[in-house]
Every structure is written in C-alpha cells, then in structure tokens.
Structure 1
Amino acid sequence: MGRSSTPGEGTRPRVRHAGQLGWDDDLYTNGPAPGRDGRGTGADREGPGHGGRRRGTSHRHGKRGKRRILRWVAYVLALVILGGAGAGYLYYEHLNGNLKKADLTLGDKKMADHKANAAGQTPLNILLIGSDARDSKENQKLGGAKDTFGAPPLADVQMLLHLSADRSNMSVISMPRDTLLQIPKCTDPKTDHVYPATTGLAMTNETLGRGGPGCTVATWYELTGITIDHFMMIDFAGVVSMADAIGGVPVCVKGNVYSHTRDGKGSGLKLEEGTTKVKGKQALQWLRTRYGFEDGTDLGRTHAQHMYMNSMVRELRKGTKLTDPGKLMDLAEAATKALTVDKGLDTVKKLYDLAGELKKAPTKRITMTTMPNVYGTGVNKGRVFPMPVDADQLFQMVRDDVPLDGKASKRKAPTAKEPTSPVAEIPVSVRNGTRTDTEYPVKGRATAVQELLTGKGFTQAEVDTQHTEATARTGVLFPSVDMEGNAQAVAKALGIPLTAVKKSTDVSGITLTVGADWREDGDYSAPSAAEKTPESARALNGDDETACMDIQPGFGW
C-alpha cells in the first residue's frame, strides 16, 4: 500500500513507500560509523556551576531528592517504546527550550471529555510515537537508508499508554505500523496545508507525514474513540542515549540470532542464546528487528518492543542506574533535544509531574498488548486490519477504564442523573456511524433507531444525514452538564451503558451515534466491560521476567 494519492494533497519530495525502510532499515550496511556508541560528549553540560546553587528554597532539593527527581523524569520519558527519550534535569531552564512542541491534534473532530469516576478522578492517555525521521546527522547515521534523507517521516512505532483513573494500573496498546485504516482530514499548523481524509485505506504510519504527530493522534481517536491527553515522540538518537544512560536493558532470545539477509536487509542485531544486556546502538537494533524474530513481521517486532519496555521499566524502578549527575546531564541534553511533545507537556517540570502519576502503577499492574488484527489478502497481503470483535473489545476496555490484567479495579459506575425534561421534550439527533474499515454503512440504521426512540416517547428524535463518520461503539454525546441527565435518559431507553454517555464540545445538542457494534436490527447489546483481554492481544505483564523471543528459522548462527 503506497502513500495516499488523494487529490489536493500535492506532491512531496523523496516520498517513500510506507511499508519500506523506517524501522526495517539496514543497519548492517548503512548504520553508524564504527566506534559510535550513541553516548553524548557532554560538551553542552552546564559545568560544575550546578553544584553552587543555594539551598533552602522550596524548589531545590538535596542530593537524594535530585536523584529521585531525575530518576522519575527519566522513567516517564523512558516509556516511549523506542527505548525512552532520557531524563530531564529539573533545575536547568534551558532544557525546556530543547523540547520541541506541536499541536495535540490536527483533526476536525474534538475529543470527548473523560468521564470521572466516583472519586472525581479521570484516566490519563498518552500516545507514544516513534519517528523514523532522518532529520539530523546522528539520525541519518543511525537510521541508514540514504535515499530517504529529507523525506517526510513515518510513525513506525505507535503505542497508546493508558493510566487508570485510580492510578492502580497501566495498559499499553500497540498498533502495528502495517495497519490499514482511514486517515481523517488533517491541517498542517505550520503551512496551513489541508490533507483531505483518505478516500481509501492507508497505512497508519503515513499519518506523521500529514502535518505531524497531531494527525497520528487524530487517527487514533477516529479509530478507537479513546480520548488522548498527550503525545510524546522520539527519534533514533533518543533511543540510543537512553539505553546508554541506564546501563543496559536485559533482553532474552531462545537461540542465537543475526538479523541480516543476503540482500542487506535487517537491523544487524547479533545475539547469543539467553539473556543479554543491550544498550546504545544494540538496543536500537533490538527495537528495530523484524527479520529474525518470530514470523519476521511487524507483529513479532512489536512483541520484542514490549519485552524491552517492561524490562527497562524494571531497571529504572530498581533505582540503581541513574545516580551519576554527569551522566544524567548528558542524558537530559540528548533526551530533550530528541523529544517532541504536545503543548500541554512543554516543560521538564510538567514531564516530572507526569512521571509522578505514572510511577503510582506498580510493574505487576502494567499490561502490554498489541491491537488484535487480521492479515489482509490480495493487494493488501502483508498488511493488517483491526480484528472486528477483539479490537473493539480492547478499545472499549480502555475507554471504560477496565484493567487489562483482569484484576479488580476501584472504578465505580458513573453517577446516574435525573433528566431535567420529559422525554417527549428532549431533542435527539441520531447519526449513522456503522461504517467500518472493511464494510459500508448499513442503510437506514439511523432511521431505524430514531423510530425505536420515538416508540419510547422521544418524539423529538430526528435523523442527522450530514454526519456519517465511522464509529466503533454506539454512544451518546452532550455539550453541557445541564444536559447530562437527558442524555442518560436516551441511553437508558436503548440499553446503552452510561459509560458511553460523554460530554463533548463537538456537538450542539444531544447526539446519538449508532456505531459499528449495532449494525443489525433489534435491541442494543453492549459488550460486557468485565470481559477479559482478548487472547489475540498477546498481553504481557510488566513483572514477567521469563519473556523470551522466538527466533525466525533461517536467522540463527
């Protein structure tokens, strides 16, 4: 599947096939120069002057406090699957200037507000993006593939990190870069260029080249309905600097592996059977390896990334690595220069505060998953699609803040509110959102549901034929708090769970969207939020130290 040829998008120089290069690039022939280990030179350090700061003010801490802060800033940045961006150094304002900022979303659809639990807490969702950009000499050396220099970047790694409202657990969903889906309209904030919504299917990693990470966020929201609060994007250089700073991350392979083919493809990773601590360029190779792991596809690589991420978090939480102030300063420089964040995370202090929230979830309650998927056929061979039932179930569990590890949560049901008007006086707009990536919308579904509402006394329900955006799950949106009770009354009448009733400034009145989960006539049957994580999601627990990668036949040595 090549890049979209939608009219009006214009031509772009040096455009490459979305399924080529990127994280598959040949490090063996086009990798960094010999002897490069990815470490910073320290030339940009502040110098010994940091030790002469005065004590006694509320924002300055002792040596132990400094290390604790640094360690947890390192932790939050490390959660970017590429190996992490590194640690920030809270006391140096110039690091804030290093951070690159971008708009959270470039799509037209406004994300719905989170539904607070009984304690008033809301979940936190962060989209972690790995860019394959060759936009600097270091990234070019690490990324290889000279013919791609200057080309628009691809979002070859995409992970949604969900921290529960009660902060008791954390869930991660990876979307394979080969996923085919529809990309919404995105407007580049730098050039005001409008990228129309794709008329057909495109690979999800193309989103980054359509204005930046905000388009990747918009695409995730369109597909999953999960409200995203922040994004963090990292490049090749950030991976290397973080892996070096923490002194190595233990990874395991079930046999000797060498990721290299006769025609020069592969990451160049070469490991002996068993557990090895990888760092620097070798850590980047691990995260980029496809040829040599499992079935040689992006799915195997995603599983390896989950193993690395869990292992890295365990290393960071031991608190035994990041104790050298000099190394931390080197790491902070490299990390902040390599990291792009949304404007809500535009300072190191905000990243530190975010780290404080993330560290509340113990490793035993961290669950890594891959979006359930099915392989395409014919012209789409080698690509994947979201698995209709399992993927929707996983997305719903995250939307409803249900732990993916199957353990009990402190989450309580939404508070029921009384309607402020008789049902006959409640205007309701009904939309048909039954279209999916592989199926056309079901004709007449909005009308059928409107008639159901009318039969239940909602005589002011009308069909909205202007909005037919695909929606995975049926839900009810309302624009202001005073309408919540009325919106809940609509949901109750049709058997829609209250968790699907949300406040959104994207609508002007109570709006019911009939989703792809209600394509057939009859009463609505909401999937149980208590269902377990589908086996197809390949859940991996953060405490699992026995995880070990299977080796693809033909790549041993």
Structure 2
Amino acid sequence: MPGRRGRRPAKKKSGAKKALLWTGGTMAFVLVATAGAGYFYLKHLEGNVRTTDVGDAGASNFRKDEAFNILVVGTDKRTGEGNEGYGDKGSAGHADTTILLHVSKDRTNATALSIPRDLIVDIPECTATKDDGSKVTVAALQGVRFNRSLGEGGRDAGCTMRTVKEATGIAPDHFMMADFNAVKTLTSAVDGVEVCVTKAVNDKESKLVLPKGESTVEGEQALAFLRTRHSFGNQGDLDRIKVQQQFLGSLMRKMSSGDTLTSPRKLLKLAEAATEALTVDSALGDVNTLKDVALELKKVPPKNITFTTIPVRDNPAEKIKATVVVDEATAPQVFDMIKNDISFTEVKAQKKKEAAAVAARLKGTKADASEVRVRVFNGGAASGSAQQQLDWLQNSAGVTKSENAGNADADQAKTTLEYAPDQADQARRLADIMGLSGSAMKPGESVANAQGLPTMTLILGEDFKGAGVPLDAASAKTPDVPKSTADEVQCAS
C-alpha cells in the first residue's frame, strides 16, 4: 500500500488474520490522547500508519456529526516479520476476515457485522491502486466467494468496499487493515486478553493448547486462538467468526479497563503497536482525523456494541456444502437497520430522545386534512402499497392533495414523513391520521410536485402494515439473528 511522501520508506505489511484494529488502532489513539500525549508524539504515531487511496469507494473526509461505517479487513497474506510459517506463503492476500462497523449518529450504539469469507457475491469492476501508486482496472466477477474481493487480480481495499456495498446496500465510508503482528503486539501491550473455552484444546495445526475454562493469551498464543478452526463448533468459518467476536469483545474490555487507562507503559505500547500495524484509507490517515475517530468510538458503551453476522444459508447450488448465500428472509432487515441507523440493543438515550421528539413534533396545531399536500413513495413496503395508501388517504381520510410518487431510491425499515418548517401543521395532521410517531417525522425541506407546489414526502417503510392501519414506533421489530454485545463474557465451544 502506498504511503505519503516524506515518510519513511514504505514496507509491505500483511493484513490481520483477525480484524481487531477498529478497537486496537483507534482506541490506542484515544487512550494516548487522553493521557496527555503531545502533538509531536501523535505526529510520530501518524508516521507509523500506512495509507491507500480508495478513490470514490469511500468518503472524502470524516465527519464527527454523522453516523459512519468502517470496513475492518483482515487478510490471509503471510508476509510480515514472524509470519512466514503460517502457510500460503505466496498468497496475494484475500479478505479472510471482514467486519463492517456501523457507529450510530448519536454515538449511543454500534453494530459490528461480520461478513463470511465464503459468502457468494458479485464483485463489481473496480479501479485499484498498485504498490507504485499507479492505477489498474480489475474486471468484475459474478457468483464468487467474497474473499476474492481483495488481493486477486490486484484488487485493493477499495474493491472490497465496493463489493460490500453491492452485497448489502451499505456503503462503507472508510477502511482499516492490519497485519498478523497486530494481534501479537496488541495483546502483549495489555498483558494478555482473557478467553474462555468449554473444553480443553490441543490443536496441532494452530498449536493452540488451552485448559478448560478461563485463560489469558497474548502474542503467538493469541494469534493461535484466532487462527484455529478445528477446535470449535463444526470447524467451519461461521463458528470461527463467533470466536473472533468473543475475542474482540474481551480485547475491548481489557483496553477500556482501569488497569490499562492508568498505565502509561500500556498506553504507549498500545499506540505504537496499533499504528505500526495499521493501514487506512487516505481520508483517515492524518493524526487529527484518527484522534477524532477514536474519540467518537470512545463514546459508545460496550453494552450497546452488537456483534452479529450476515444471515446466510447453505448454497443450494452445491451438493457438498462449501459456500453460503445471503438469507433473503432475514438479511434485508439487518441491512436496513444498519442503513437507517437503528440499534440492535435497547438504548435509553435513544428512547429519551424519541420521547422528546414525539412531544415536540406532535404538539401544536393541525391543518385540515384537505390542506395536507404529500407525495407517497414505496420504500420497502409490499408491492402496490403506495397506491393503496394513496387511495385510502384520498377516499377515507380526506387527504385529497396527495399523489403516488412511485418507488423510493432505497428501502428503509421505518416509515418516515419529511416536511419543511412551514408544513409542520400539515405534518401533525398526517401523523395523527396514520399513527406516526414523532421519530418518524423528519424536519427538512419540502419538494415541488408536478404543479410546482411545496409538498411533503411520505416514504412507506418495511414497517407499513397496510392501507389505513395505524403505525407506531415499535412496529419495526429487531430480527431474530444470533448476536452478542461487547460487555458479555462468553466461552468458545
């Protein structure tokens, strides 16, 4: 990956087998920053970080006042000091472990969505940046494993970011990658990470040896814990992902503990280890931006950081099951919750905020139904819902100044109503008619209809229950998918 001009000569760094550095890299920065480290030391840390240009695959800058998505990528590339003996020596490095981290706009919650490497996806054509800084266009692939989105044919992290957007509809804003040594040095910097296994482990391939119950692992032993695939579950990639998530939660707890926060030695070791191992997109590469990311991540309580995996099922095209495909019955709602910034955990701050929004937005005068002017879009409801709701509004509710605007640009989990400040009385009337909550009402700008008149925008989401059926804030339920939170202590089985 190319570095900045003026830095030390770029060294080829392999990516981490396990994608741990969204906590490692960024939390190390914030821990050092809050410990009072000076600007020049932070500039030194910035010099450790590798950057790569992903073009328009990611955001051009980081914004502290918005939700953001960071794609954390771990590759199976074997280069890097001390990693020659792990096999596949000549591999270009594929997307072996990938986590899409979504951090909510209000910083009350986050979701870490694991993407199986054996998920069948379409990889779009992409322009990748070579080691010498030149560009190369890599052809698209259809119906292949997700892990081929990185490394093969020269594909870089920007190609992986585009593949994630193609497969999930969620656009990553930034990416982070790290090498094998990150696991070793980060865990050693905090004097080890606590893990738990339900039975004794003696894996000859990964060389992991652990007694039943709790243990502390660091360095090579920590890497072995994450590399083993024969000791847990059915020895498949999905069970390995669960172990990775458990380990990541434990690492987060250790890094946030008082023992770490009050130890200058650990803080400095963490910062050096994380930045030496880190590769990020150009927009994240300067010291102030990395510090900003870290400070925003620090705001999210571990109990509201949810780990989950894209819902999948066995590939029906295979007799011998080796790959998986997206479970279309469950995955779309998971994707929509992330796209629409909806938490997988109950967040008290969100509930208080929503209650305040309900009180503020629903309180006040209401226009007559005949004065409500609105365009109705279908944004995830059943086919034909926009026309059915329009018919009901016009014929049963007296909202005669309404029109069918077709399909929205994208599906969303919840129904929303956007209106301009001078349309608030119209919005309250329509909310009253439809049973919309205050959180569904989105102050914004009006749009012009075909006659050039200012009009509100109603988008029927997946929570829409049918023409004339009242909505409420609880109508979009959390999907029934396996998940855990960062504050939970779990044992690998």
TM-score when scaled to structure 2? Answer: 0.67
Q: Deviations over 1:17-41 (max 9, x none)?
A: xxxxx959xxxxxxxxxxxxxxxxx
User: Which residue identity is paired with 2:118?
Assistant: D
- Which of 448, 451, 457 pairs up with 2:400? 457
Q: 1:537 aligns with which of 476, 482, 485?
A: 482
Q: From the two aligned structures, give the one with the greater strand fraction.
A: 2
Quick one: structure 1 residues 327 and 473, their matched pair in 2 at CA, closer, same or farther if it must change by over 3 Å? closer
2:117 aligned with 1:177: yes
1:244 is matched with: 188
1:157 match = 98
Residue pair 1:125, 1:161 contacting (<8 A) in 2 also = yes
Give a deviation string over 1:432-485, Cα, whole Å, max 9, x none.
767xxxxxxx87666656666766434443336xx876x353656979998999
Correspondent of 2:24 among 55, 58, 77: 77
Equivalent in 388, 413, 420 of residue 473 of structure 1: 413
- Give the 3-state SS of the residue equivalent to 2:177 in structure 1: strand
Number of residue pairs matched by the alignment: 446
| CA pair 283-457 structure 1, distance change in 2 beyond 3 A | farther
CA distance 1:23–1:170, change in 2 (3 Å): closer
**Larger relative CO (CA 8 A, sep 6+): 1 or 2?**
1
Equivalence for 2:215: 276
CA distance in 1, matches of 2:147, 2:415: 28
Question: What does residue 311 of structure 1 align with?
Answer: 250
Deviation per CA, 1:188-239: give whole Å up to 9, x if none.
476373766x7x6554444445964445555556666667654433232322
Deviates more, 1:312-321 or 1:450-459: 450-459
Change (3 A) 1:433 1:402: closer
Residue equivalent to 2:309: 371
Check conservation: 2:311, 2:327, Cα contact below 8 A.
yes
Are the aligned partners of 1:253 and 1:273 in contact in 2 as well (CA < 8 Å)? yes
- Select the residue among 81, 94, 101 that pairs with 1:138: 81
Superposed counterparts of 1:162-241, under 5 Å: 162-163=103-104, 165=106, 167-181=107-121, 188=128, 191=135, 193=137, 201-208=143-150, 212-214=156-158, 216-217=160-161, 230-241=174-185
Query: 2:413 is matched by which residue type in structure 1?
Result: R
Matched, 1:392 2:333: yes
Helix, strand or coil at the partner of 1:379: coil
For 2:435 and 2:75, the matched residues in 1 are separated by: 45
Rounded to whole Å, the distance in 2 between the matches of 1:376 and 1:339 is: 34
Q: Are the equivalent residues in 1 in contact too, given 2:376–2:458 (CA < 8 A)? A: yes
| Separation (CA, whole Å) in 2 of partners of 1:137 and 1:533 | 42
- The C-alpha deviation readout for 1:38-68, integer Å capped at 9, x for no partner, is xxxxxxxxxxxxxxxxxxxxxxxxxxxxxxx
Equivalent in the alignment of 2:48:
98
- Does the 8 A contact of 2:109 with 2:347 survive in 1? no
Match of residue 296 from structure 1: 235
The sequence identity of aligned pairs, in percent, is 28
Q: Tell me whether 287-296 or 322-331 shows the greater mean CA deviation.
A: 322-331
Q: Does the 8 Å CA contact 1:424/1:459 hold for their aligned counterparts?
A: no
For 2:166 and 2:470, how far apart are their aligned partners in 1?
A: 22
The aligned counterpart of 1:352 is 291
Tell me the secondary structure at the aligned position of residue 77 of structure 1.
helix
CA distance in 2, matches of 1:155, 1:429: 43
Corresponding residue of 1:29: none
Provide the residue aligned with 1:33 in structure 2.
Answer: none
The structural deviation recorded for 1:404 is: 0.9
Structure 1 letter corresponding to 2:293: L
CA contact (8 A) 2:371 2:401 kept: yes
Deviation sequence 1:134-189 (CA, Å, 0-9, x none): 274338526531242x35x3152214243571x45554343433344556675547
Q: Which moved more, 1:410-419 or 1:337-346?
A: 410-419
Instruction: Kindly indicate whether the alpha-carbon contact (under 8 Å) linking 1:372 and 1:537 is maintained by their aligned counterparts in 2.
Output: no
**Once the 2 structures are TM-superposed, how far is the Cα of residue 124 of structure 1 from its aligned partner?**
4.1
- SS of the aligned residue for 1:239 comes to helix
1:256 corresponds to:
200
- Separation of aligned partners in 2, 1:139 and 1:421: 73
Q: In 1, Cα distance between the equivalents of 2:472 and 2:331?
A: 11
Secondary structure of 1:137's aligned partner: coil
Aligned with residue 416 of structure 1, among 340, 345, 361 = 361
Contact 2:194 2:217 in 1 (8 A): yes
Q: 1:79, 1:403 → 2: CA distance?
A: 23
Deviation digits for residues 94-113 of structure 1, max 9, x if unmatched?
432332335678459x99x9
Distance 1:213 1:409 in 2: 33
Pairwise mapping of residues 114-129 of structure 1 onto structure 2 (< 5 A)? 124-129=67-72
Whether the 8 Å contact between 2:313 and 2:327 is mirrored in structure 1 is no
Gaps of 5+ in 2: 1-15, 450-455
- Could you list the per-position Cα deviations for residues 391-430 of structure 1 after superposition, in whole angstroms to 9, with x for gaps in the alignment? 6268538845446157674542246389999988957474
Report the residue type matching 1:312 in the other structure. Answer: L
- Cα distance in 1 between the residues matched to 2:122 and 2:243: 27
Q: Determine if contact 2:369/2:429 at 8 Å carries over to the other structure.
A: no
Consecutive unaligned residues of structure 1, counting only runs of 5 or more, are 1-21, 25-73, 115-120, 261-265, 435-441, 551-557
- What is the one-letter code of the residue matched to 1:176? P
Distance 1:250 1:225 in 2: 36
Separation (CA, whole Å) in 2 of partners of 1:419 and 1:214: 49
2:224 to 282, 285, 306: 285
> How much does 1:293 deviate?
0.9
Matches within 5 A, 1:333-344: 333-344=272-283
Contact 1:496 1:524 in 2 (8 A): no
* Equivalent residue number for residue 324 of structure 2: 383
Query: How far did 1:259 drift?
Result: 3.6
Q: Distance in 2 between matches of 1:482 and 1:103?
A: 44
**Using a 3 Å threshold, how does the CA distance of structure 1 residues 376 and 524 change in structure 2: closer, same or farther?**
farther
Q: Any conservation in 1 of the 2:71–2:101 contact (CA below 8 Å)?
A: yes
